[in-house]
Amino acid sequence: MCHEYPSKSRPHPDLRSKSTFCLARMNKGLIHQAFVVSNAIQSDAVTLHEIAVETNIDAWTPDDYSEEMSRKDSIVLKAENGSSMIGFLAARTVPSSISGVDADIYNIAVVKRFHRQGVGSKLLTALRKELIKREVQYVWLEVRSSNSTAIHFYKNHGFEMFTSRANFYSNPSEDAVIMRLSLVEK
């Protein structure tokens, strides 16, 4: 989970078991064809939730994802391998009194068996292009300090550690690392 908002409720346990079932049916192994990144649509909401649960990020409910997709300031992207969704990203533009427009990344997750095959990178690259079009200056995110995989991934994409927040997360309690990517041309 990148951001934790109190308004986002925890997933219903029934949806968790459905997630395990559906994801277990997906092909196991390497990506067998070029995967495609596109905008997620309302009917993807349950699958976004399932992937969030499978990857242990702070999953929003399908309704939360659905609501997010209906916002003009929101960008929800999905990566598909054939007809299976294998990753997604949710971000939102936010007004900034200093820089004009910034963006927050809320979720990015790739189905575990497809990790380290460039899916997260392709999602982030597509987001970056869209944010440049929307004249965003800085992209922000929060990540658990123990999530070294994600921190490494973000650094690889030009994010810098900006500051940290003690005990930002609960269950388990943990510090957050705040990371920032500058889209301002130097």
Q: Which helix H or strand E contains 78, and what residues bound it? A: strand 74-81
Minimum CB separation from ligand COA for residue 112, in Å?
7
Q: Does 176 bind ligand COA (CB under 6 A)?
A: no
Q: Which of 110, 127, 136, 177 binds ligand COA (CB under 6 A)?
A: 110
Minimum CB separation from ligand COA for residue 173, in Å?
17
Q: Does 128 bind ligand COA (CB under 6 A)?
A: no
Judged by beta carbon, residue 61 or residue 147, the one nearer ligand COA is 147
Those residues whose C-beta lies under 8 Å from the C-beta of residue 73, and which sit 6 or more positions away, are 92, 93, 94
CA distance 120 to 174: 24
CA distance 110 to 119: 7
Count the Cβ atoms, other than its own, within 10 Å of residue 50.
23
Are residues 120 and 105 in contact, defined by beta-carbon separation less than 8 angstroms? Answer: no
Q: Which of 23, 37, 45, 57 binds ligand COA (CB under 6 A)?
A: 57
Q: How many residues does the chain have?
A: 186
Name the region of 116 (left: φ>0; alpha: ψ -120 to 50; beta: rest): left
Tokens of 9: 């409720």
Judged by beta carbon, residue 82 or residue 100, the one nearer ligand COA is 82
Judged by beta carbon, residue 69 or residue 86, the one nearer ligand COA is 86
Q: Does 147 bind ligand COA (CB under 6 A)?
A: yes
Binding pattern for the stretch 70-109 against ligand COA, x by CB under 6 A and - elsewhere: --------------------------------------xx
Minimum CB separation from ligand COA for residue 88, in Å?
10
Name the region of 108 (left: φ>0; alpha: ψ -120 to 50; beta: rest): beta
User: Rule CB under 6 A: which residues touch ligand COA?
Assistant: 1-2, 55, 57, 108-110, 115-121, 143, 147, 149-150, 152-153, 156
